[in-house]
Chain A
Amino acid sequence: MNFELLFQLLLNGLIVGTLYGVVAMCFVLIYKSTQIVNFAQGEFLLIGAWVCYAFLVEMSMPFWLGFLFTLLFMMAFGIVLQMVVLRPMIGEPIISVIMVTIGLSIFFQAATKWIFGATTATYPQVFETRSLNVLGMQIETAYIMSFVISLFIMAGFYWFFKYSKLGLAMRATAFDQQVAQSLGISVKTVFAMSWAISALVSGVAGIVIGMVNGVSSALSVIGIKVFPAVILGGLDSIVGAIVGGVIIGLLENTAEFVDGQYLHWGNLFSIAPFYVLIIILCIKPYGLFGTKDIERI
């Protein structure tokens, strides 16, 4: 048994897993406050990464400025999307809501391919050194940076929902829309802001992954990988999203290890999360931290 490889893969899993956790958190944020399942989450990453690429390469801005503009763009994008497309869907049956986000997903995927091309693009070099030595192992700087950014975002979310006024308003809306509205919270603003924040944070995740792997339409696959993570953690639990993301990241890399060392089946790592997904749905559909629905007639 190759322990060094296993350890390296597990570390990768942890780093990728925290990124999954961040994207899953954005997904849960939208689901929790607006009851919309966002199948276009992966496209948010894609758009964020491509827009940042456009700012950096086509307009040759310095990194911090391009990054800042991307954040602003993503925020506006989220708000506009919510107002134009999702607001008319309030109160529609779940199939319509799912289909609208799926429609958005294909639309944006095709649009980015059309505008930016289908080939992988790389960002200009941001860091001086390619890799650092941590505990005797070579880790890419971008990986470490992505890990730090993920932790930073998570801490930010914690602060936001615990102390900021808007975050508290969002939690109140998620808990009971009518009561929140009667207490003077603008539910419309909360809906728009939750999409804005989700788009913004997903955009950051997209840029981070784009730095490591390059920008291509493969980024949107993350949006689908989020589902196992979210279901595992429970659909309406932010903590669950993080835990689920990390577990799925670790699982993927463990599957890759087992596959590479023993089974030699090929792409087991990309399909393993979906088997887990089916099993969880059969055993414990509300996930580890999710609240169980109780229905009345």
Chain B
Amino acid sequence: MTVADLPPRGDIGAPIQQQVNPSGTDVAGAYYIEYAYRDTHTPNMVAVVLADYRAFDTLGEVIVVFAGAIGCFFILRRRT
């Protein structure tokens, strides 16, 4: 059964909650928890990841919002 292979809810031993994952590379989540305040002096880690570490992701997301607004405008525009 495939669902049973998923880690149970809240399991600390799951691969995404470790500092080093099974293939030997560092896991992003533990790094963010450890270094977020040291790098930016901002207590909210989600804001730091959103606007600093993954700012390019957020830039693309803002552009998606802008493209959605432009798309609605051109779909529903009254032709005069």
Do A and B interact with each other, yes or no?
no
Chain B residues within CB distance 8 Å of chain A: none
